[in-house]
Amino acid sequence: MLTPQDKYKKRLAKYTKLLKKQTKSSNIISVLRLITFLLGLTLAILFFISKLYYLCIATVLAASILFIFLIYIHNKIILKKKCTSALIEINEKALKRLMGEWKSFEDCGDDFVNYDHRYSYDLDIFGIGSLFQWICEAKTYLGRLKLKNCLEDNCFSKQDIYERQQAVNELSSKLYWRQQFMYESIVTSEIMENPDEFINWSKDKTIYKTNFIFKIILIILPIITISLAIISLSSVLPFYIPTLFLLLQLAILKVKSENRSTLFMMAEKYSKNIKAYEKMLKIIEKHNFKSPCLKNFHKKLFDKDGTAASISIKKLSNIVETLSSRHNMAYAALNILFMIDYHLLTLLENWKLKYGSNLSTWLDTIGEFETLSSLSMIKYDNPDWTMPMIQDDILYFSSIKMGHPLLGDKRICNDLNINNTKTVLLITGSNMSGKSTLLRTVGINLVLAYAGAPVCAQRLCCSIMQLYSCMRTNDNLEKSISSFYAEILKIKNIVNASNKGEKVFFLLDEIFKGTNSLDRHTGATILIKQLSSKGNLGLVSTHDFELSDLENEQNSRVINYHFEEYYKDDKIYFDYKLKNGVSCTRNAVYLMKLAGIGGIQIGDG
């Protein structure tokens, strides 16, 4: 059975070969176009010189028809090349992801980095080397935003999560469909604008509205003007009369011309996006989905009459394509004669009246499919990962062979169990032994679990809880906030959430490290007792070994775990395996020796 890597390589080889073939065809057509032009021109000149005018005209016509046909064929090949190139790019990116080279991906979600969020900054959800950078396959603005929301602020119920899991499972098996869906946004529009302005424009049906009588005038007046112009050619009618009618039409065109231009410019601004939306909607519509979640999204793309969203938005695309011709001289002349601006305005009005209120739903649906496709990539690339089970009666977290999703082959997996009797895991260990990584491993797998994605574990069962962390703190000079006070504010948010009765899962890494050892120990003890007494679950990493005494107190809900290192040939090694009990090793002095601090060298004393 082929592995995901084998399949990507196979598809990459297939599309690379196809691109070479298409490039060859494109080059041949280019040569044929040149030959057609030169040969047609040469023969036409020879026939003209020989006074064979009929043959000259016939040659020009034949060469022109053939040349236009070759342009048509050439454009189709160029489009196919763009599609093939996009598929090559997609499969190359997939292989880079599997080989651990995903940190070079352009979209890392750095625009979503929020230093004050309750966990996203601590867990590397956005930014360089983030979860978002690893999984994002969304290209539209709403697709990226929905992926961001499901990783940062999702509020899915147990039923929602299970339905999303079914959708992810279904899409993970549809590699061809996912790649086809993805390349349409790449080929059609490289930059996907924020559609809020476009959506608001589509819902506005009154500002430029024209009444029925005026629409009749728009049809009759050009007919009269043209008729008068034809009559004036026979000298029966003075030429100034049709000229006056033309001036009247020009005056009518000047009325609110700036408003019309603004309306048209808005439609043109999103022209490439509209084309991409049309293609992406069509791919969704023509596929039959089985999971309830996908079927529900699919259903939203058809109106009561069964008209598909792609057909409706294609009508808008056709209008916008016509609008693009407004910038040439021929249009300016024809516009005065036929008042085309108003006819285009009428077409836009009619489209907005009939379909404008549905646009936001269509774009939301595209975004949902992009989000679920991104999550399904995880399942496809990691078939040994599992879908988590959701526990909804008691607070609970249990995992078997759980690892950090972003570490690839370097990850070390551990088992973990937190329940209503032992709610807090106190993790001790020396520097660089794996304490912080364990906290992030738990946190990022919970984020994936709540999004409906597979998790990096052989088995994982958890309750739906509000995830909070306090791991990284930064000075904020503008707000005059020190790193210690920033840490206090983070912890305050956790305590407030707990006091409000929220189901909290907390991750605390070396808390109160910005103060003296006595205050640090006292504050940490009080905080751990307070959070555990409320029944919250969490992990606390610490260098304060005295905190491990909490396990021995009466009715304690704290249990000790640790990481340790070992030494060989004057080198330090870590196995990153979580063990029961308290750490009994220290490595700070050894690490200082490695750094040559104070003149101490390895092998001294």
Using pLDDT thresholds of 50, 70 and 90, give the confidence band for residue 205: low
CA distances for 352 relative to 5, 153, 202, 309, 526, angstroms: 46, 33, 5, 13, 61
Q: Which two tokens stand for residue 118?
A: 């309750």
Q: What is the pLDDT of residue 209?
A: 57
At residue 571, the pLDDT reads 76
How confident is residue 453, by pLDDT bands cut at 50, 70 and 90?
very high
Residue 600 has pLDDT above 60, yes or no: no
Are 166 and 293 within 8 A, CB to CB?
A: yes
pLDDT at 492 over 80: yes
Residue 604 reports pLDDT greater than 50? no
pLDDT at residue 477, rounded to an integer: 45
**13-17, 361-365, 468-472: segment of lowest average pLDDT:** 468-472
The alpha carbon dihedral of 312, 318, 324, 325 has a sign of negative
Return the bridge partners of 460, or none.
399
Each domain of the chain, given as residue ranges in start order, spans 4-99, 188-208+256-374, 389-599
pLDDT at 52: 87
CATH 3.40.50.300: does it fit domain 389-599?
A: yes
Residue 38 vs residue 409, higher pLDDT: 38
d(CA 400, CA 239): 91
Q: β-strands 558-562, 579-580: how paired?
A: antiparallel
- Using alpha carbons, select from 336, 351, 350 the residue that is nearest to residue 222: 336
Is 267's pLDDT higher than 50?
Answer: yes
> Which residue would you say has higher pLDDT here, 357 or 372?
372
- Percent of the chain at pLDDT above 70? 93
Name the H helices within 386-482: 435-451
Is the pLDDT reported for residue 79 higher than 70? yes
Cα–Cα distance list, 372 to 178, 331, 382, 590 (Å): 10, 44, 15, 47
* pLDDT at residue 226 tops 70: yes
Share of the chain above pLDDT 90, in %: 55
The model's pTM: 0.87
What pLDDT is attached to residue 10?
Answer: 96
Which residues are within 8 A (CB) of 604 and not within 5 positions of it... i.e. 6 or more apart?
A: 593
Instruction: Give the distance, in angstroms, between the CA of residue 216 and the centroid of all CA atoms in the same chain.
Output: 46
How far is the C-alpha of 456 from the C-alpha of 393, rounded, in Å? 24
Q: What is the pLDDT of residue 587?
A: 59
Confidence category of residue 474, pLDDT binned at 50, 70, 90: low
Among 263, 283, 453, which residue's Cα sits nearest to residue 362? 283
Query: What confidence tens digit (pLDDT) does each residue in 122-158 have?
Result: 999 999 999 999 999 999 999 999 999 999 987 789 9
Q: Which of 285, 282, 363, 297 is nearest to 164 (CA)?
A: 297
pLDDT digits (tens, 9 = 90+) for 166-199: 999 999 999 999 999 998 888 766 667 788 888 9
The runs of H, that is alpha helices, within 289-425 are: 292-299, 309-323, 329-338, 340-355, 359-381
- Token pair of 571, please? 């080198």
**Cα separations (Å) of 447 from 12, 200, 493?**
32, 33, 19
Distance, CA of 184 to CA of 409 (rounded, Å) = 33
**Structure confidence by residue, pLDDT tens digits, 414-430:** 999 998 888 999 999 88
The mean pLDDT of 396-413, rounded to a whole number, is 94
Say what the pLDDT of residue 489 is: 87
Contacts of the segment 45-50: beta carbons below 8 A, 24+ positions apart:
none
Name the pLDDT band for 602 (thresholds 50, 70, 90).
very low
